[in-house]
């Protein structure tokens, strides 16, 4: 790890100010950033730690939405009765992230801001039509994810909370990379007032994406049989040691059917 400055501001405004330094980075749970720094693959000048800021974590039900503070840890989402009642698929997803140590450090805001193509939360945010709330504005999930490790966040912009509209039904099925246990293919399906949405993580070479053909097939008939014949185009999917694009395309179908079955 290279030397760096450390800042622990007490307010979001102070954090945003600290981020004005060149090569400053936000430290949320640190589960990606710190290992990357230890390997000397990242060398930020300043780490702006959000942990001292009040009000960035917590879970609440606000009308037809579930609101989760950006610094809320995966373990807290997984264990929350409020989440389990409101969106059981989301609580189940949080329980599948990493290992217990990661789940007790890693945060929902950190995961969304990092937008790792194999992360789990992007699939939930996209399928549930979440709104990402920052210190500057509100961003619809559909506008937020911009490709591998890329988001709509601007310099100095900090996620403060995430609002999930409550779905009628939802579920997440994850095929884990055998080594890392990140999502090799993760499919989140949600039946909402706005329609059926199917979001796929782990597979796309541009990160999380919606599966239009499956959404169309499920719109009229929310059952595994409805998507049994829906093919997934392998072009645009990732290939690596653990599975080529054809295998991932096949797994998208399997995981989607299992998610629909679990949700139905």
Partner 1 sequence: MSATGLGASVKRKEDIRFITGKGRYVDDINRPGQAHAYFLRSPHAHATIDKIDASAALASPGVAAVFTGQDIADDKLGGLICGWMIHSKDGSPMKAGAHPVLAQGKVRYVGDHVAVVIADTLSQARDAAEKIVVDYGVLPAVADPAKAVGGPNIHDAAPDNTVYNWHLGDKAATDAAFASAAHVTKLDLVNNRLIPNPMEPRAAVGDYDSGTDTITLYTTSQNPHVARLVLSAFIGLAPEHKFRVIAPDVGGGFGSKIFIYAEETVCAWAARKIDRPVKWTSDRTEAFLSDAHGRDHVTHAEVALDAAGKVTGLRVHTIANMGAYLSTFASSVPTYLYATLLSGQYNIPAIYAEVDAVYTTTAPVDAYRGAGRPEASFVVERLIEMAARETGRDPAEFRRQNFITQFPHQTPVIMAYDIGNFAGALDKALEHADYKGLPARKAASAAKGKLRGAGFSAFIEACGIAPSAAVGSLGAGVGLWESAEVRVNPIGTVEILTGSHSHGQSHETTFAQLVSERLGISIDNVSIVHGDTDKVQMGMGTYGSRSGAVGMSAISKALDKIEAKAKKVAGHVLEAAESDIEFKDGKFTVKGTDKAIDFASVALQAYVAHKFNGQELEPGLKESAFWDPTNFTFPAGVHICEVEIDPDTGIVTVERYTAVDDFGKLINPMVVHGQVHGGIAQGIGQALMEGAKYDEDGQLVTASYMDYTMPRADSLPSFTVDTIETACPSNPLGIKGCGEAGAIASPPAVINAITDALGHEDIAMPATPVAVWRAAQKRPRLAAE
Q: Which of 51, 180, 221, 228 touches partner 1 (CB under 8 A)?
A: 180
At closest approach, how far in Å is the CB of 130 from partner 1? Answer: 28
Q: Does 41 interact with partner 1 (rule: CB under 8 A)?
A: no
Instruction: Please identify, using beta-carbon distances, which residue of 45 and 180 lies nearer to partner 1.
Output: 180
Number of residues that bind partner 1 (CB under 8 A): 17
Nearer to partner 1 by Cβ, of 28 and 251: the residue is: 251
Q: Which is nearer to partner 1, 169 or 242 (CB)?
A: 242
Minimum CB–partner distance for residue 180 and partner 1 (Å): 4
- Residue (15 or 252) nearer to partner 1, CB: 252
The label of the residue with tokens 């890693």 reads: 106
Q: Which is nearer to partner 1, 175 or 209 (CB)?
A: 175
Identify residues 68-127 at the interface with partner 1 (CB under 8 A): none
Residue numbers 234-253 binding partner 1 by CB under 8 A: 241-244, 247, 250-251
Task: Specify the residue, 68 or 255, whose C-beta has the smaller distance to partner 1.
Answer: 255
- Quick one: which of 175, 201, 203, 259 contacts partner 1 (CB under 8 A)? 175
In angstroms, give the least distance from the CB of 248 to partner 1: 9
Contact 90, 129 (CB under 8 A): no
With contact defined as beta carbons under 8 Å apart, do 28 and 107 qualify?
yes
Among 100, 179, 220, 235, binds partner 1 (CB under 8 A): 179
Query: Which CB sits closer to partner 1, 1 or 13?
Result: 1
Q: How far apart are CA 264 and CA 234, in angstroms?
A: 27
Other Cβ atoms within 10 Å of 151 Cβ, number? 20
Residue position matching structure tokens 């942990």: 51
Give min distance, CB of 37 to partner 1, in A. 12
Give the interface with partner 1 as residue ranges (CB under 8 A): 1-2, 39-40, 175, 178-180, 182, 241-244, 247, 250-251, 254
């Amino acid at each position: 790890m290279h030397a760096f400055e450390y800042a622990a501001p007490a307010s979001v405004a102070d954090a945003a100010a600290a981020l004005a330094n060149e090569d400053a980075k936000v430290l949320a749970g640190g589960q990606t950033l710190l290992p990357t720094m230890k390997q000397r693959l990242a060398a930020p000048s300043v780490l702006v730690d959000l942990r001292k800021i009040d009000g960035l974590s917590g879970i609440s039900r606000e009308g037809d939405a579930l609101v989760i503070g950006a610094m809320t840890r995966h373990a807290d989402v997984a264990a929350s009765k409020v989440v389990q009642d409101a969106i059981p698929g989301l609580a189940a997803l949080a329980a599948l992230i990493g290992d217990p140590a990661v789940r007790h450090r890693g945060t929902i805001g950190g995961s969304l801001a990092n937008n790792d193509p194999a992360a789990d939360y992007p699939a939930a945010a996209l399928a549930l039509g979440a709104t990402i709330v920052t210190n500057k504005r509100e961003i619809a999930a559909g506008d937020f994810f911009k490709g591998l490790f890329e988001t709509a966040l601007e310099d100095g912009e900090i996620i403060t909370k995430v609002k999930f509209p409550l779905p009628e039904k939802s579920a997440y099925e994850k095929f884990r990379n055998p080594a890392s246990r990140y999502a090799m293919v993760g499919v989140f399906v949600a039946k909402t007032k706005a329609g059926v949405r199917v979001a796929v993580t782990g597979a796309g070479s541009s990160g999380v994406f919606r599966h239009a053909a499956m959404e169309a097939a499920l719109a009229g008939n929310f059952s595994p049989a409805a998507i049994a014949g829906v093919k997934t185009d392998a072009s645009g999917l990732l290939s690596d040691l653990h599975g080529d694009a054809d295998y991932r395309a096949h797994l998208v179908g399997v995981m989607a059917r299992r998610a629909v079955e679990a949700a139905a």
